[in-house]
Amino acid sequence: MTGRTEDYERTMAFADIALGQMKALRQVATPRNYEIWYAYASGYHPALNQQVNATIKAKGTISEADLAQIYENHLSPTRLTERIDLVGSQVKGEIDQVMAMIDAAVGSATNYTESLTDPLTQLANRKFFDVTLEKTIAEAFSRNEALSLMLTDIDHFKAFNDNFGHLTGDQVLRLVAMAVKHNVKGKDTAARYGGEEFAVVLPNTALRAAVTVAEHIRRAVMAKELMKRSTGEQLGRITISIGVAALRKGDSGQSLIERADICLYAAKRHGRNRVMCEADPEVTAESTAAEVA
C-alpha cells in the first residue's frame, strides 16, 4: 500500500469518526464543528480531547456554546502559532484534505451527514453503525465502562411481505424503527443493521439494563396493531426477537456482534417474540454444546 493510499484511508477514517460524533450528538454540520471533531478523532491535540471529554462527562452532551469555547481555546486562528509549535501543520492540512474530499464526493456537509442515515427508517445506517461500534468499544475499554449491544429481527417478516406487499412491509420497518428510537436515548446509537434487522449500541450499560431496554422495545412493537392504509384492512400485530450481549475483555466489534447474533437466533429458536441474552441458561447451554461439537 502506498503512502498516499494510507494517508487517504487514515484521513477518511478520522472523518467518519468525526461525522459520527456530530450525528450522535445532533450537532450542526459546520466547518468549525468538523474541525473540532476531526481534531478530536485524530488525537493530535490532547488538551482539546480533555476539554471535550470533561464537558460531556459533566453535562451528558456538548452544546454549540461549548464547542465555540473549545474552538476558541484550541483551534482559533489566533492560536495558530501555538498549534504549529505543538503538533505542526499536519492537523490543518488533513482537515483541508478531508473537507475537499467531502465536497467533491457529496457536494455539501449536510448531504454527507445524510449519507450516514437509512432513508426508510431515518435511523443510522450500517456504515455509521460499524464506525460507531468500534469507536464506542475503544472508549469503553479506555474508561473501564460497560457496553452492551442489541440485535433485533422482525419475526416472520418475509411471510408478511409476501402476504401484504413491500409497501406494507416498509410500514412495518418504520414502526419498529420508531419503537427503537423512542426507547433509546443519550449516547445510544440505533441503526438499521440490514433488511429487517436493527442494532442498538448502548454505551455505559450493563447487560441486565440493556435487557430491560430491549423488553421495552419488544413490548412497544407488540402493542401496535397494523392497518393497511389503502384499504383499512386490519393486519394484526407484529413481533420481534432480540439478542443482547455485553462487552468482554479482548472483544472486537465482530466478536461482540457474533455473540449478540447467537442470542438473537436463540430467541427465535425458543419461540420468537422474546429477548434473550448471553447470561440466559438456554443460550449458555447452546454455546457450550457448539464449542464441544
Domain ranges of the chain: 3-114, 126-292
pLDDT of 96 higher than 60: no
Q: Residue 177: pLDDT band by 50, 70, 90 thresholds?
A: very high
Amino acid at 50: Q
Contact residues for 122 (Cβ-Cβ < 8 A; gap 6+): 177, 181
Query: Which cell goes with 108?
Result: 455539501
pLDDT computed for residue 156 by the predictor: 92
| CATH code for residues 126-292 | 3.30.70.270
Q: What whole-number distance in Å separates Cα of residue 58 and Cα of residue 230?
A: 50
Task: Let me know if 22 is exposed, middle or buried by CB neighbors in 10 A (0-12, 13-18, 19+).
Answer: buried
Whether the Cβ atoms of residue 27 and residue 64 lie closer than 8 Å to each other: yes
Query: Which cell goes with 15?
Result: 472523518
Average per-residue pLDDT for the chain: 82
Instruction: Choose the weakest-confidence range: 47-51, 79-83, 132-136, 228-232.
Output: 79-83
Which residue bears the cell 492540512? 93
Average pLDDT over residues 276-290: 74
pLDDT of 167 higher than 90: no
Which regions of the chain does DSSP assign to beta strands (E)? 147-154, 189-194, 197-203, 225-227, 234-237, 240-246, 275-277
Q: What whole-number distance in Å separates Cα of residue 50 and Cα of residue 39?
A: 12
pTM metric for this prediction: 0.62
Whether the Cβ atoms of residue 178 and residue 122 lie closer than 8 Å to each other: no
Q: What whole-number distance in Å separates Cα of residue 175 and Cα of residue 232?
A: 17
H or E segment and range at residue 3: helix 3-24
Whether the Cβ atoms of residue 242 and residue 254 lie closer than 8 Å to each other: no
Which residues are tagged catalytic?
196
pLDDT computed for residue 84 by the predictor: 41
pLDDT computed for residue 109 by the predictor: 47
Query: Which SS3 state, helix, strand or coil, does residue 152 take?
Result: strand
pLDDT computed for residue 14 by the predictor: 75
Percent of the chain with pLDDT over 70: 79
Higher pLDDT, 79 or 231: 231
Q: Residue 215: pLDDT band by 50, 70, 90 thresholds?
A: very high
Task: Let me know if 171 is exposed, middle or buried by CB neighbors in 10 A (0-12, 13-18, 19+).
Answer: middle
